[in-house]
């Protein structure tokens, strides 16, 4: 039920949803004052979340800063959170990645450098109305294709959200007697909620945030002024994550 409600709430929280509602109100409301308010709100929704500079500042404030490789303990067990593949893309003889592929590619890099001794991949199907292919299985397939030995990869393929990632990973670690130190790898914007969930579950992890949306600097001066679709989409991702953090906090998951 929580999974269903969270997916439904995602739609309601999208700025695109607000834009459509505001546009409809501005067009169809008969009260002129309400039409002006809706039009003004629509203008704000198009300008503010679409501004590259403002959205970048928000991401800089929210995302956990990157760790240098020297800070990562050697012989760690990596815990990789899924949410980065295109499961609906054929053929199924390989893994197609979406935004967030850093979660597994940088983990592979750490393995090659001797920082990682074992992988735990956690994540099931993200489909709402039917059971799909588990993403943890797909990421394991990718690591196997990259010549990582099978016995170094453990998977948890039932979790549907971050809280379940933490709880089911803890069960897997206990069942298989896996040893730390544990290195938690997920997107930088998702790391704050992830670390809180794993800490709540009783797992002490070293964070290794990847997949950054923020930039250290903006090259094109026009991006300070001209609204764009890209920042609007990024703002949607950030706003949903911040909302998710607040909901998890209210539910006692953090």
Closest CA to 96 of 149, 148, 133: 133
Structural domain harbouring 175: 71-210
pLDDT for the residue numbered 46: 85
Residue recorded with tokens 């850093």: 102
Residues 98 and 198 in one domain: yes
Residues 83 and 135 in one domain: yes
Instruction: Return the axis-axis angle of helices 52-62 and 188-200, rounded to nearest 10°.
Output: 30
pLDDT for the residue numbered 10: 67
Closest CA to 106 of 209, 33, 8, 35: 209
Residues 78 and 52 in one domain: no
| 220 found inside a domain | no
pLDDT for the residue numbered 15: 80
Q: Largest alpha-carbon pair distance within the chain?
A: 68
User: For residues 84 and 98, what is the distance between their CA atoms, to the nearest angstrom?
Assistant: 5
| 10 found inside a domain | yes
Domain count, the chain: 2
Residues 21 and 76 in one domain: no
Residues 48 and 123 in one domain: no
| 217 found inside a domain | no
- Show the tokens assigned to 191: 């790391």
CA dist 30 to 23, 24, 42, Å?
13, 11, 17
pLDDT tens digits for the chain (254 residues)? Answer: 555 555 566 677 778 888 899 999 999 998 989 999 999 999 888 888 889 999 999 999 999 999 999 989 999 999 999 999 998 888 988 999 999 999 999 999 999 999 999 999 999 876 655 566 899 999 999 999 999 999 999 999 999 999 999 999 999 999 999 998 999 999 999 999 999 999 999 999 999 999 999 998 877 777 777 778 889 899 999 999 998 999 899 999 99
Residues 88 and 21 in one domain: no
């Amino acid at each position: 039920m929580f999974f269903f409600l969270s997916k439904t709430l995602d739609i309601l929280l999208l700025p695109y949803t607000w834009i459509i509602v505001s546009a409809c109100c501005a067009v169809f409301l008969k009260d002129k004052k309400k039409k002006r308010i809706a039009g003004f709100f629509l203008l704000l929704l198009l300008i503010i979340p679409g501004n590259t500079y403002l959205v970048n500042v928000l991401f800089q404030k929210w995302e956990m800063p990157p760790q240098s490789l020297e800070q990562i303990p050697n012989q760690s067990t990596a815990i990789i959170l899924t949410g980065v593949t295109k499961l609906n893309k054929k053929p199924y003889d390989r893994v197609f990645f979406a935004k967030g592929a850093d979660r597994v590619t940088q983990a592979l890099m750490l393995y090659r450098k001797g920082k990682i001794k074992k992988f735990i991949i956690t994540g099931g199907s993200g489909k709402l109305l039917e059971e799909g292919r588990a993403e943890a299985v797909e990421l394991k397939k990718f690591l196997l294709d990259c010549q990582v030995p099978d016995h170094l990869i453990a998977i948890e393929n039932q979790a549907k959200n971050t809280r379940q990632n933490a709880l089911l990973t803890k069960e897997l670690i206990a069942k298989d007697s896996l040893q730390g130190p544990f290195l938690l790898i997920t997107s930088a914007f998702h790391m704050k909620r992830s670390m809180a969930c794993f800490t709540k579950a009783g797992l002490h992890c070293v964070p290794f945030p990847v997949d950054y949306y923020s930039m250290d600097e903006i090259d094109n001066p026009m991006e300070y002024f001209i609204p764009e679709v890209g920042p609007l989409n990024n703002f949607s991702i950030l706003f949903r994550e911040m909302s998710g953090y607040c909901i998890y906090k209210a539910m006692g998951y953090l």
